C-alpha cells in the first residue's frame, strides 16, 4: 500500500500558494538591526516575494506543502 507524504511544517509556515499556483513568501532581513539599512531597502523588503517562473523550485515546495 502506498503511503502519503507528510507536509513539511516549516515550509507550510513560510510559504503560501496563490490562486494562480505561484508561491508567496515573506522576505528575510527585517526583524532587527535595521537602523543602518536604507529606507528604500526596508520598503522593498516589505513586499512579498513570489516564486512564479521557476517550475523546478515550485515543484519542490509544492511537494513539501502536500499540494502535489
Q: What is the mean pLDDT of the chain?
A: 93
Structural domain including 16 reads 9-65
Q: Does residue 42 lie within any of the structural domains? A: yes
pLDDT of residue 31: 94
Indicate the number of domains in the chain: 1
**E-strand stretches of 1-68:** 15-17, 23-25, 49-51
- The confidence band for 67, taking pLDDT boundaries of 50, 70 and 90, is confident
CATH number at residue 31: 4.10.410
What percentage of the chain carries pLDDT values higher than 70? Answer: 99
Q: Does residue 3 lie within any of the structural domains? A: no
What are the phi and psi torsion angles at 63 (to 5°)?
Answer: -65, -45
Amino acid at each position: 500500500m502506498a503511503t502519503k507524504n507528510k507536509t513539511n511544517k516549516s515550509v507550510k509556515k513560510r510559504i503560501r500558494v496563490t490562486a494562480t499556483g505561484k508561491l508567496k513568501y515573506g522576505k528575510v532581513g527585517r526583524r532587527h538591526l535595521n537602523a543602518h539599512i536604507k529606507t528604500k531597502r526596508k520598503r522593498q523588503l516589505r513586499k512579498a516575494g513570489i516564486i512564479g517562473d521557476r517550475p523546478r523550485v515550485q515543484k519542490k515546495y509544492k511537494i513539501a506543502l502536500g499540494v502535489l
